[in-house]
Each structure stands twice: as C-alpha cells, then as structure tokens.
Structure 1
Amino acid sequence: MPRNNALTERLGLAVPIVQAPMAGATTPGLAAAVCAAGGLGSLGCGTQPVEASRGQIEEARRLGARPLHVNFFCHAEPGAGAGGDATRMRALLAPFFFERGLGEPPLPALPYQSFGAEQLALVEALRPEVVSFHFGLPEAGLVEAVKAAGAMVWSSATTVAEARWLEEHGADAVIAQGAEAGGHRGTFLGAEPAHQPGTMALVPQVADAVAVPVIAAGGIADGRGVAAALLLGASAAQLGTAFLRCPEAAVHPAHRAALAAAGDDATRITRLFTGKPARTLRNRLTEELLEAEDEALPYPLQLSLTGPLRRDAATAETLPLWSGQAAGLTREMPAGELVRRLGEEAATALRRLAG
C-alpha cells in the first residue's frame, strides 16, 4: 500500500497499520514482527513495573522493533478511602476464590501507578518513537518532556469532545476509539459507554474536528476495515483483537479458544475486572455478577481484587477475555504474515472501490 500521508511518512511505515499496545498481551516478539512487516509494533506498559517495561523495550529493540510505540496509563489514582467498603464486592468474588483454593479475596490496593517521573525517565533513556496514553494525558510538563525525548504523543478519544481536548493539550495524533473496541475504553471526560459512538460514526467526525492525524480503532480486524478507516479520514488503523491469536502474543490458551469460537454477540462492556469500562468476551464471572456492575470499586482498586483470579485461571471462567466486536474475523497466523495479509486486503478493497 502507498505511504501517502504525513503520519506514515514520519514513522516510515510501509502499511498504515498499528498493532494495539494491549497491556499483558503484547510482547517484544509481537512488536518486532509487526515492525518487520512494515507496520507499527507496540508494547503495553501501563500495568507493570518500570523495570519490566525497560526489559521489554530493550528486547524489542534487540529484535529490530523500529519504529516502536509504547503505551502508558494516566488514570486518576483514587485517594485514601476511595474504595469505600469493599465487603460486598469481596463477598461476591469469594465463591470464585474458594473454588480455586485461593482463600479470601484480598483487600483493595493500588497495583501500579499512573504515568509519572519513573516512566518519563524510561522514555528519556530508551526513546521510543511513539508514546501513547490511555485515559487522557498526563500533566503538561510531562507531555512536553516526552516530546523533548523525540517521541510523538498519542492518546485515545471515545468522543469528538475528547479528541478536541487532546489536540488542545498537546497530542500529536488522536486514536479515535469506537465503541466496538476491545479492552479498556479510553474515556476520560466522563461519557458513559452507552453514549459513545461506533467507529464508523466517530472517525470522520474526529477527522473533521482536529488538525492532527487520526488513527481509527475499534472493530477493525481485516483489510476491508483498514480500507474503510482510511476512507473515513484516518491516517492509519489500530488493530488489537486481530493480533491476539498470533503465536507471538502472550494470551492464555483459554482466551485463544474463546476468540476462535466467538460469535458477533459474544462481548459486553464490564467494570467487574478492573473498575473501568472494558469490552470482554462474556464468561461465567461477567454473567453471574452482571447485577453487581455498580458495586465495582474505582479503578484500579477493583483490579487488585480480581488479580488472583486472573493469575490462577485454568479456564476462561474468570479471565478478562478482552476482545472487540470483530472477534469473529480474527485469524490464527504469525503477526508478520497477518500484517502483510491486511495490507494486501486493504489495497484490494481500495482498488475495487476505485473501479
């Protein structure tokens, strides 16, 4: 496919495809394979210690990942007592713990920190080409310091208002995340998931609203979706769920099997796993605790409660099976082959449209 826009030219991409930086699922091998095929490889560093991120970035570079996209979270951390009384949620989770011999659910705690000085020092030392944020942007001084380290600054918007805010506060590009997207919603101005537009409606409105490049995300899993994103005004498409069945991804076998079997009504948005709205495949935990959504603790306190269930899971019953609504389009193949296939499919779709 031609490199015919400022974003792909700046990053030297042969195809306008970004592998989403899915925390916990991305690996240096996955990022490097995507880069080798001409796309933008990514690492999700928002939910792990800085030293773990350092090791992954260094390994990705050793494997040839260039350019490299690194993602961090910049959530508002709950203050003392923000979790309130966790007794009810711990009681609801207790049967799942007892079945697995895990004892009592833990008391809520902060499992990791938002983007700050430590993460900035990592960026300054290792200099990834793109640094993106979920849940808005860090304070202005940190944004400027990331740019001074040579990185483009991206962030996710789930509404046009969020896209405008990101541009006004220094984002070099906006990821327009439609409601179909898997994993955490990037929402930071308070819009409820039920009121957020889908990718088809969101991307052209964001492209019209901001002057910076737009990356389309949500429900894109094949070349037709990539082509559609470009026609809607995006400079590139970001795909996450599409890469979860690649052998390079760090995905639990039960999660892979669930993705392979997923139909078009298999997902829903839940706060049960982390406290923030995130799209997952339905499983026993999401269905049995459906009526307890409003009792989830603030992010990331809820994540600290469910952590032992994720780490111990032998089946899909208690795993967060992050997935977008296009799970039925996913394919099991190496990441590099997938990028090349996506590029060929998108080029074919665009040629057919051109007549």
Structure 2
Amino acid sequence: MTDWPDRRILDLFGIEHAVLLAPMAGFGTPELAIAVAEAGGLGALACATITPEQARAALDRIRAATAKPINLNFFCHRPPEDDPQREAGWRARLSPYYRELGLDPSMAVAPSSRAPFDDVYCEMVEAYRPEVVSFHFGLPERRLLDRVKATGAKVISSATTVAEARHLEAEGCDAIIAQGAEAGGHRGMFLTADVSGQIGTFSLVPQVVDAVRVPVIAAGGIADARGVVAALALGASAVQIGTAFLLSPEARISPQHRRALETAEADETAITNVFTGRPARGVVNRLMRELGRFSADAPAFPLAAGALAPLRAETEPLGSRDFMPLWSGQSARLARSMPAGDLVRSLAAEVLAKIG
C-alpha cells in the first residue's frame, strides 16, 4: 500500500488517512466520531444542536474511548432579531397543514434554537483542548477565535466561494473546507446569500487551491474512492464526507431518512430554506414540493423550524417524512451501508490502490 500523495492535512491534524467525518449536527454521535478516529480519519462532534452540558458529556465519552484527534464543530451565525410579522406570515403559510392534522394553527410552539459559538462554548474548548475546531457560517469574533487558537487547536471553516476561502485564510484558518454545491445539509455561505451563484465541488476545489496557501479539504458529492481520487487530483489535501456516513450504524437517523438516502436519485435532492430559514440540501419531500424550494415567508435561521415542530411530532411517529428535513448530498446512492470504521479503512485502501 502506497502513502497518501499529500501529507499536509495528515501532519497538520495528526491523522493516518485523509478522510474527515463531516460533523452533521443532529445526526452525528460520539460513537460515530470514535469509530472514524480509531480507523485513522478525523472524527467530529457537532455542538450546534446540543447544549454545552450535553457536549461535555459526549466529549467525556469520546475521550474515554479514543486518544485519536477529534474535531469540535460550531455554528457562527448571528442570532436572528425578533420579527413577529414574518413569524405570523410563516404560521399562516403552514396553517393548512395544521388543520389537516387536527392541530390549532395558533397553538403555542417552542422557538427553534441553534446557539452560535460563544464564551460558554469557548470555555469548553479551552477545557478539552480538541486537536481541531471547525466553524460553519464563517468564523467567530476575533477575541473568541484568538482564545481557540491559543489552545493549540487547528482551526478550519467552510468556504462556498473563492472569496470566502480568501477571507478565511486572511483570518488565520489553518486549512479550508471547499464546500461544493453538491454537499448535503446547510450551506456554509457567509459572504453571500446568492444560492444561484454556488458552484460544484470539482469547479470550486481547484480555484480555491490556486487562491490560498493553506491546505484545502474537498467536501460535497464525495462518497466513494473515485470521488476522493478526483478531489486529490484537483489539489485537495483531504476530503470531508458526510452523507456516506449516515448509513453507518453509529449515525443517528430515522428509518424514513435512511430509506430516502437509499432510494433517492441525484436529481431528487435540492437546496431549500423551508426547514430552518437557511439554505440546505436535502431529499425533496412534500413540504419542499408544495411550498417551493425557497419561501420568502420562512423566518431567519433557525426560527423557521419552530413552527414545523408540531407537524413533525404528529407525522414522524407514523413513518411520514412529509415535514422532516432529509439532509443529503447528491451522491447518496454511491454510499455503502457499513460500520463507520470499515468505511474509512475501505476508502483509504481503495484510494491508495487507485493512485498507487
């Protein structure tokens, strides 16, 4: 077996294989992070959808099971301002679904919360000192970023354009994730809101490689060895994979989400804002078809999800996927259902055999 042709990410993070687990907020688990890390990739724990207390408990489990490098991931969005008029418009748009399910359209709903990186999370980073800290939707304010870097953690973040990549490098990122439009889940956009201008992974990667000096990690539409080899050929030093790991037993997904991933064709995913208020790619379902991919009524991220919660609570236990986000990249059909550690080792062996 030959060696990886570009060792910059391997040496930077202290890992064996140039395969990074995408954090996947809501679907990743400590067990998934452990399995990937133990197999020689970079494990990841998404902290955006859990409390600091839950994150600490998860980290305790991870640290007890592996001494391999781990990536802690955080969101860096601006908390939305209250907009009662827009919220009322969104509730009105969803009211036919409430009535269909026998629910009161004016019923109280709990607001959706996604906490951005703050002092509390920063203190957790300082206490646990993860090898890598990654951010989505840009970077935190400078004083927090400086504190993270002072722990010795390597800092990475997602760029969906060359301009975003240059910005991240200028702000001190040690490596940059080039997130192509094929990627599942939330777009990492932070300097632009124009989804129509988002480009694919294999156009974005070489342009980012040419524009920055730090190593580049390719993400989006990569699910098998062919995609990894292509990304490396275009100048990426490593790849970040998400959707392919959702079929691993260590991931936390519903049966209907799993069925969607196993059956959806590439053209059956789309970028939408109707689930959270921010662009994200998932398998098309009833809500996306009937409201349209994008709705001007959807409140700012993450508030749109609040009014959907009662609809999900009524339908998901019955096996429906009408109102749930089915996050997926465009290459889900290339994924294999196997334990996460086996997937990392298989990908590494297949990639090295191809390039050897």
Q: TM-score, normalised by structure 1?
A: 0.94
* Aligned equivalents of 1:94, 1:257: Cα separation in 2: 28
Q: Give CA-to-partner distance per residue, 1:85-120, whole Å, 9 cap, x none.
A: 322211222343445555446457351321110010
Task: Mark the CA change 1:310 to 1:136 in structure 2 (over 3 Å): closer, same or farther.
Answer: farther
Q: Is the 8 A contact 1:31 1:65 kept in 2?
A: no
Q: TM-score, normalised by structure 2?
A: 0.93
Q: Secondary structure at the match of 1:293?
A: coil
The equivalent position to 2:338 in structure 1, one of 326, 333, 350, is: 333
Q: Is the 8 A contact 2:273 2:294 kept in 1?
A: no
* Residues 15-34 of structure 1 aligned to structure 2 (within 5 Å): 15-34=17-36
Task: Mark the CA change 1:291 to 1:250 in structure 2 (over 3 Å): closer, same or farther.
Answer: closer
Task: Mark the CA change 1:189 to 1:135 in structure 2 (over 3 Å): closer, same or farther.
Answer: same
* Aligned equivalents of 2:294, 2:173: Cα separation in 1: 36
* Aligned equivalents of 2:217, 2:74: Cα separation in 1: 17
Letter matched to residue 348 of structure 2: G
Letter matched to residue 351 of structure 2: A
Percent identity for Structure 1 against Structure 2:
51
RMSD, matched Cα: 1.8
* Aligned equivalents of 1:221, 1:106: Cα separation in 2: 41
How many Å apart are 1:338 and its aligned residue? 0.7
How many Å apart are 1:132 and its aligned residue? 0.6
Letter matched to residue 36 of structure 2: V
Q: Give CA-to-partner distance per residue, 1:126-173, whole Å, 9 cap, x none.
A: 111111111000011111100111211110000000000011112111
Q: Secondary structure at the match of 1:279?
A: strand
| Alignment coverage as a number of residue pairs | 350
Structure 2 residue 353 is matched with structure 1 residue 348: yes
Q: Is the 8 A contact 1:19 1:41 kept in 2?
A: yes
Q: Secondary structure at the match of 2:267?
A: coil
Q: Is the 8 A contact 1:229 1:237 kept in 2?
A: yes
How many Å apart are 1:308 and its aligned residue? 3.7
Provide the residue aligned with 2:143 in structure 1: 141
* Aligned equivalents of 1:308, 1:13: Cα separation in 2: 43
Provide the residue aligned with 2:54 in structure 1: 52
Provide the residue aligned with 1:217 in structure 2: 219
* Aligned equivalents of 2:156, 2:312: Cα separation in 1: 29
* Aligned equivalents of 1:240, 1:291: Cα separation in 2: 22
* Aligned equivalents of 1:244, 1:9: Cα separation in 2: 27
Letter matched to residue 153 of structure 1: V
Q: Which moved more, 1:106-115 or 1:31-40?
A: 106-115
Letter matched to residue 228 of structure 1: A
* Aligned equivalents of 2:120, 2:305: Cα separation in 1: 22
Letter matched to residue 2 of structure 1: D
Q: Is the 8 A contact 1:71 1:132 kept in 2?
A: yes
Q: Is the 8 A contact 1:175 1:217 kept in 2?
A: yes
Provide the residue aligned with 1:88 in structure 2: 89
* Residues 57-76 of structure 1 aligned to structure 2 (within 5 Å): 57-64=59-66, 66-76=68-78
* Aligned equivalents of 2:11, 2:327: Cα separation in 1: 31
Gaps of 5+ in 2: none
* Aligned equivalents of 2:312, 2:352: Cα separation in 1: 40
* Residues 1-355 of structure 1 aligned to structure 2 (within 5 Å): 2-3=3-4, 4-64=6-66, 66-81=68-83, 84-100=85-101, 103-104=104-105, 106=108, 109=111, 111-290=113-292, 293-311=295-313, 313-314=316-317, 315-351=320-356
Task: Mark the CA change 1:128 to 1:163 in structure 2 (over 3 Å): closer, same or farther.
Answer: same
